[in-house]
Amino acid sequence: MSRPTAPARPQGPRQDLYTRVTDAIVADLETNVRSWAKPWSASHPAGAVTRPLRFTGQPYSGINVLLLWSQAIARGYVAPIWMTFRQALAAGGAVRKGEKGATVVYANHITRTETGDGGEDIERQIGFLKAYTVFNVEQVDGLPARYHALAAPRLDPAQRIDRAEAFFAAVGADIRHGGDMAFYSVHEDRVQLPPFEAFDDPESYYATLAHECTHWTRHPARLDRDFGRTRFGDEGYAREELVAELGAAFLCADLGLELTPRSDHAAYLGHWLGVLKAQPRFIFTAAAHAQRACDYLHARQV
């Protein structure tokens, strides 16, 4: 059977930016690389596991996390901190000649007043996407030491696990243990995991728990996320799985845990490639949904 032809992609600067970002993610997936599956910088004193950080120390969110993780892996950066050319100058540094920056995006909307059919004023919100370039601190000379070693002490592994326990306990989900499968049942509104002892290591357990708790946010009483799933393994199912995998990656980075992808995620690579090639903007949608899920789970902390 011949492969269906993907619909023509819209032209123009704004649409091209969506396409460029999606093409980068697709290229990773086609080589069996998930840029979100190793979000850590093992030798950087800022922390072994983290989201990418702005020059202020504030974490990036959504699609920019994936973009910068991908660039860090491709270029071998261990530092998680990024800044613009001007920010580097303002901090007393200078981007080395010939260095190539990484693209990040900024999404917002403008309000435009239009005249309706009846002559009334109608306000429309029009979304837009802008791109700008950032450089990793490893590309910048002359920066103060604080950009290479954050003042906050690193947590040891036991503290990280304790933090994860406290985080998921505060979420308040109905989490049950038993059997040999991990899943979230929207009808029963519960998370099911194998016993803790069944996992290869604690990080695998918490990564799986983060994945299922991201699914837990899709319930109609919470974020009411629905991609039109009608059967196991269909396109809607694969879309929700991508959201859950990204959510787990974001949460593991926030909790300082090494992400251990579930073995069944490999089965979704083909589904994800099909979705992203046919719908170049879906990776933005998936990252945005994952970010909202993480924000929701963080908001439940006491």
Residue 60 shares a structural domain with residue 71: yes
Residue 159 shares a structural domain with residue 141: no
| Segments in the chain below pLDDT 50 | 1-14, 40-42, 151
Q: Does any domain span residue 21? A: no
Residue 197 shares a structural domain with residue 183: yes
Q: Does any domain span residue 23? A: no
Q: Does any domain span residue 8? A: no
Residue 110 shares a structural domain with residue 146: yes
Angle at which helix 282-299 crosses helix 63-75, to 10 degrees, equals: 110
What's the pTM value of the predicted model, to 2 decimals?
0.79
Residue 104 shares a structural domain with residue 182: no
Domain that holds residue 294: 155-302
Q: Does any domain span residue 142? A: yes
Q: Does any domain span residue 67? A: yes
**Per-residue confidence (pLDDT) for residue 251, from 0 to 100:** 95
Residue 115 shares a structural domain with residue 79: yes
Q: Does any domain span residue 27? A: no
Residue 127 shares a structural domain with residue 58: yes
Residue 260 shares a structural domain with residue 175: yes
Which conformational region is residue 235 in: left (phi greater than 0), alpha (psi within -120 to 50 degrees), or beta?
alpha
**Per-residue confidence (pLDDT) for residue 222, from 0 to 100:** 98
Q: Does any domain span residue 145? A: yes
**Per-residue confidence (pLDDT) for residue 4, from 0 to 100:** 37
Question: Please, which residues have CB within 8 angstroms of residue 114's CB and are 6 or more apart in sequence?
Answer: 121, 122, 123, 124
**Per-residue confidence (pLDDT) for residue 28, from 0 to 100:** 81
**Per-residue confidence (pLDDT) for residue 156, from 0 to 100:** 65
**Per-residue confidence (pLDDT) for residue 285, from 0 to 100:** 94
**Per-residue confidence (pLDDT) for residue 10, from 0 to 100:** 44
Number of independent structural domains in the chain: 2
C-alpha–C-alpha distance, residues 124 and 110, integer Å? 8
Residue 136 shares a structural domain with residue 252: no
**Alpha-carbon distance values, 117 to 110, 120, 126, 283 (Å):** 22, 7, 19, 36
**Per-residue confidence (pLDDT) for residue 80, from 0 to 100:** 87
Task: Tell which of 152, 170, 194 closes a domain.
Answer: 152
